[in-house]
Amino acid sequence: MAHEDEDAAGPAPGAPALPAEPAAREVEALEDGDDDPEGSAADGPEGSAFDAARRRRPSRRPGRRLKGWLSALFVGLTARLFPPLYYAYCWLVWRTSRRHDGLNAAIEAALARHGGVVTLMWHEEVFTVAFSYGPLRGDALASTGNFGRIVTRLLEFCGCNVFRGGSSGSTTRRRQVLPHLIRYMQGAPRCLLGLTVDGSRGPAHRMKSGGLVVARACRAPLYLVRTACAPALRLPTWDRSAIPLPFGRIFQDVVGPYWVAPDATDAELHALRDHLERDLLELADHGARWLGRPHDRRGFPDGWRPRWAPGRLGVPFGPHDLRPDDPPPWARVAGAAPQPGGAPALAG
């Protein structure tokens, strides 16, 4: 579901603007260098069609033209060959590992009730995202650069829909996406949006606000999700991404729902973000304990301690949190006709 980041921001339609925050935690505005002439992205998952429709004009300089041709050849071959190899490897890992799956049934039930769900996860899970969440037919986000092209083919191969935008290495390829994610979720009968909340450039384990902005505008439930594996290889990246190994253990679980009222103030939204950050950290720690391995708490706040009650996952923030059968009266309802302007009909 979620890849590569949730930094593709702009003001959410119908939602109050967020105040300025430290750069590592804000919903970044990426208006500068928007690659669309109209300064916008499509209101639906473009996937690989984005690359076909926006082929770059070759350079007039022979050296740069050759470099561009070789780069395009390498990216094209990787985008074709890597997805089936990745899928086969993950299939082997899943088939040979002991699994705890507390995730899929809960997310399917939430989709059946509300039609739209926003899931939040840490970027360190990025390797397993496409395979583990592909069967849920999630909606993901990939950048517009060459790496985003490969990621897009991988996600599509595993069954995900892909929006294009967000952070890219080149400012000329950045594009506003958040408003279009919101419009798409408001109008789509089914949308499972997955976001890596500390991606794609970190800092690790520090939650950004984009997912909460979408949930507020769409009146959709928020779920914290976790996939952890042992044994696993840790890459020397900023997020220490994990690659699972065969014949191990796989933990998948979910905590939620959490709700953001459509009239929530920015201060309330930021307080909920901090609350969810703590619960997502604890979900990671809980998964590590199930795997029988101490979780690497690098990136956790100093003095962090578990706070969940024994036998319970999560701490509610509002009166309807962690109560799937008791949504707020304004929550969206699956199958209800959208109101004029694309907003979903409300419960009750």
Q: Is the pLDDT of residue 146 over 90?
A: no
Average pLDDT, the chain: 80
Token digits for 191?
A: 């949308």
For residue 204, the domain's CATH number is: 3.40.1130
Residue 308: strand, helix, or coil: coil
- What's the rounded mean pLDDT across residues 83-110? 94
Token digits for 204?
A: 């690790």
Q: What is the pLDDT of residue 315?
A: 94
Give a yes or no: residue 274 inside a domain. yes
Give a yes or no: residue 338 inside a domain. no
- Rounded Cα gap, residues 336 and 124, in angstroms: 36
Give a yes or no: residue 285 inside a domain. yes
- Rounded Cα gap, residues 280 and 286, in angstroms: 10
Q: How far is CA 246 from the centre of its chain?
A: 25
Q: Is the pLDDT of residue 28 over 50?
A: no
Considering only CA atoms, which of 281, 179, 268 is closest in space to residue 226?
Answer: 281
Q: How far is CA 158 from the centre of its chain?
A: 15
Q: Give residue-wise pLDDT tens across range 308-320.
A: 988 889 999 999 9
Q: Is the pLDDT of residue 248 over 50?
A: yes
Give a yes or no: residue 229 inside a domain. yes
Give a yes or no: residue 26 inside a domain. no
The domain in which residue 63 lies consists of 49-290
Amino acid at 203: P
Number of domains present in the structure of the chain = 1
Strand partners, 346: 332
Amino acid at 101: D
Q: Is the pLDDT of residue 229 over 90?
A: yes
Say which residues have a Cβ less than 8 Å from residue 38's Cβ, sequence separation at least 6.
none
Give a yes or no: residue 330 inside a domain. no
- Rounded Cα gap, residues 67 and 47, in angstroms: 25
Token digits for 238?
A: 């900023």
- 24-28, 155-159, 191-195: which has the minimum mean pLDDT? 24-28
Give a yes or no: residue 42 inside a domain. no
Give a yes or no: residue 266 inside a domain. yes
Token digits for 151?
A: 């990621």
